[in-house]
């Protein structure tokens, strides 16, 4: 759930209250009001459904309720990060950017749904690179004939995604080459790769927040103005409350997965790759589109690439390591189709980033790729 400030460090010279957000300064209806409305309606319904009519409706209501909760977590994290300054703030925002997705995956892992967890990792990456970025480019392209962005920063994110693709490919290829003999080493291999990914993730933060922060200077214009006017105390309370809400609703959602799969005829893979991933990406999806409509494509691109990077280099390795005390032993061995999907998604996003310009047709292309992959995952048993 990465937001603009997750890659653009807040200005050290402005640790105070950020400027008012668009909706709060103008007072009319805005996207935040829509999310709050969804929360007010669907959160109590989701809780009631779990206790009084569990099953398919619980899954649906929890899925909708998670969207505004994830949005609140992202906004609260962003406000706190802004007040902490560029160092601690940037680190906090980068590390907690996908907290909602991590919580959902942990709930699924604790319930023994390892296949759904892996599929949700794949789906979160594809959702950011193709669905979020594609929708933002399409929306911005319909308003502006041509939009420019920081090509160097975008390609840096693309290079990191190649590393993520390598980490997902090696266990799968190793298993394919060695057969059943490889099974006993897949988990130790995944743990070692996870440690490497976390080290690279830490170094990538050092790159974007310290040594090469000038590459992201273009995004500072306008990032703070998107934040709500909250005090640190209010943001902390909102963050804790939203986090608790996500924990509860995610647990209820996971318990209802099997009922939803039986009722809708979905597979575990499709639920993880498409449905749960869209739920987790909904918050940054709306933010990326709003940035594109304001002709801030640097922010839109970095929302997509940075969130994908966080999922691949932080969330996935953490889940592998946390699976040890949980006794689940999650590995980084993904299916052939999942690895191929990540490769296609990374390649498609890289092609768009090569010239530093975007138009609406390129957005359509990314959405088309996502739709084709979605069809494929729908038919995977």
> Does 150 or 28 have the greater pLDDT score?
150
Residues 6+ apart with CB under 8 A from 270: 119, 377, 378, 380
Half-sphere exposure of 254 (CA within 13 A, CB side): 23
Residue 161 has pLDDT above 80, yes or no: yes
| Phi, psi of 249, deg, nearest 5 | -65, -40
pLDDT on residue 92: 67
Residues 315 and 253: their CA atoms lie apart, in Å, by: 19
What pLDDT does 90 receive? 57
Average pLDDT of 294-320?
89
User: In this predicted structure, what is the pLDDT of residue 17?
Assistant: 41
1 has a pLDDT exceeding 70: no
Q: Give the separation between CA 228 and CA 209, rounded to whole angstroms.
A: 23
pLDDT at 217 exceeding the cut of 80:
no
Q: How confident is the model at residue 221 (pLDDT cuts 50, 70, 90)?
A: very low
- Per-residue pLDDT band at 232 (split at 50, 70, 90): confident
Whether the Cβ atoms of residue 50 and residue 252 lie closer than 8 Å to each other: yes
Please say if the pLDDT value at position 194 is more than 70.
Answer: yes
Find the mean pLDDT for residues 218-228.
Answer: 52
Token pair recorded at residue 5: 């400030």
78-114 confidence digits (pLDDT tens): 788 777 765 555 556 656 667 788 888 898 898 888 8
**What pLDDT sits at residue 19?**
42
Assign a CATH topology to domain 4-379.
A middle domain of Talin 1 (1.20.1420)
Mean pLDDT of 33-56: 89
pLDDT tier, 22 (very low <50, low <70, confident <90, very high otherwise): very low
Tell me what pLDDT residue 249 has: 92
Long-range contacts of 18-26 (CB under 8 A, 24+ apart): 18/79, 18/82, 18/224, 18/225, 18/227, 18/229, 19/224, 19/225, 19/227, 19/229, 20/225, 20/228, 20/229, 21/225, 21/226, 21/227, 21/228, 21/229, 22/225, 22/226, 24/228, 24/229
Q: Kindly state the average pLDDT of the residues 124-141.
A: 93
Q: Which residue has the higher pLDDT, 266 or 187?
A: 187
Q: Give yes or no for residue 374 having a pLDDT over 60.
A: yes
Provide CB contacts within 8 A for 32, sequence distance 6+: 21, 23, 24, 71, 75, 228
Lowest-pLDDT choice from 84-98, 183-197, 333-347: 84-98
Provide the pLDDT confidence category of residue 222 given band limits of 50, 70 and 90: very low
Arithmetic mean of pLDDT, 332-337:
92
Contacts of 185 (CB under 8 A, 6+ apart): 174
> What would the pLDDT profile of 2-12 be if each residue is shown by its tens digit?
444 444 444 44
Is residue 199 over pLDDT 60?
Answer: yes
The domains of the chain are located at 4-379
Please say whether the beta carbons of 99 and 256 come within 8 A.
no
Q: What is the mean pLDDT of residues 148-156?
A: 85
Report the alpha-carbon distance of residue 303 to residue 284 in Å, rounded.
7
- What's the mean pLDDT when you consider all of the chain? 83
Buried b (16+ CB within 10 A) or exposed e, 1-17: bbbbbbbbbbeeeeeee
First to last CA, the chain: 29
At residue 121, the pLDDT reads 92
Share of the chain above pLDDT 90, in %: 38
**Lowest-pLDDT choice from 9-13, 179-183, 263-267:** 9-13
> What is the mean predicted confidence (pLDDT) over 165-186?
91
């Amino acid at each position: 759930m990465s937001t603009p400030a997750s890659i653009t460090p807040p200005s050290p010279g402005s640790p105070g209250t950020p400027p008012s957000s668009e909706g709060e300064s103008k007072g009319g209806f805005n996207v935040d009001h829509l999310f709050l409305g969804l929360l007010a309606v669907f959160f109590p319904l989701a809780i009631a459904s779990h206790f009084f009519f569990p099953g398919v409706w619980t899954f649906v209501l929890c899925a909708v309720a998670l969207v505004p909760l994830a949005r609140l977590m992202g906004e609260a994290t962003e406000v706190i990060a802004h007040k902490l300054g560029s160092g601690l703030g940037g680190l906090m925002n980068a590390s907690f950017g996908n907290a909602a997705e991590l919580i959902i995956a942990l709930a699924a892992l604790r319930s023994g749904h390892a296949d759904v967890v892996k599929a949700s990792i794949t789906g979160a990456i594809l959702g950011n690179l193709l669905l979020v970025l594609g929708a933002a480019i399409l929306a911005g392209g319909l308003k502006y004939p041509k939009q420019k962005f920081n090509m160097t920063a975008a390609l840096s994110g693309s290079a990191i995604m190649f590393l993520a693709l390598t980490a997902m490919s090696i266990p799968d290829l190793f298993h394919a080459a060695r057969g059943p003999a490889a099974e006993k080493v897949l988990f130790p291999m995944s743990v070692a790769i996870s440690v490497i990914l976390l080290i690279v993730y830490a170094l990538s933060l050092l790159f974007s927040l310290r040594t090469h922060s000038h590459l992201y200077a273009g995004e500072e214009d306008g990032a703070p103005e998107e934040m709500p006017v909250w005090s640190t105390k209010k943001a902390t309370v909102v963050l804790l409350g939203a986090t608790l809400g996500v924990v509860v609703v995610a647990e209820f959602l996971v318990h209802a997965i099997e009922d939803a799969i039986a009722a809708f005829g979905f597979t575990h893979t499709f639920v993880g790759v498409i449905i749960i991933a869209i739920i987790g990406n909904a918050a940054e999806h709306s933010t990326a589109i709003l940035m594109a409509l304001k002709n801030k494509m640097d922010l839109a691109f970095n929302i997509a690439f940075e969130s994908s990077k966080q999922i691949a280099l932080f969330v996935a390795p953490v889940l592998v390591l946390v699976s040890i005390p949980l006794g689940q032993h999650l590995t980084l061995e993904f299916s052939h189709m999942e690895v191929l999907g990540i490769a296609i998604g990374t390649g498609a996003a890289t092609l768009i980033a090569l010239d530093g310009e975007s138009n609406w047709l390129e957005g359509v292309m990314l959405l088309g790729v996502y739709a084709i992959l979605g069809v494929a995952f729908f038919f995977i048993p």
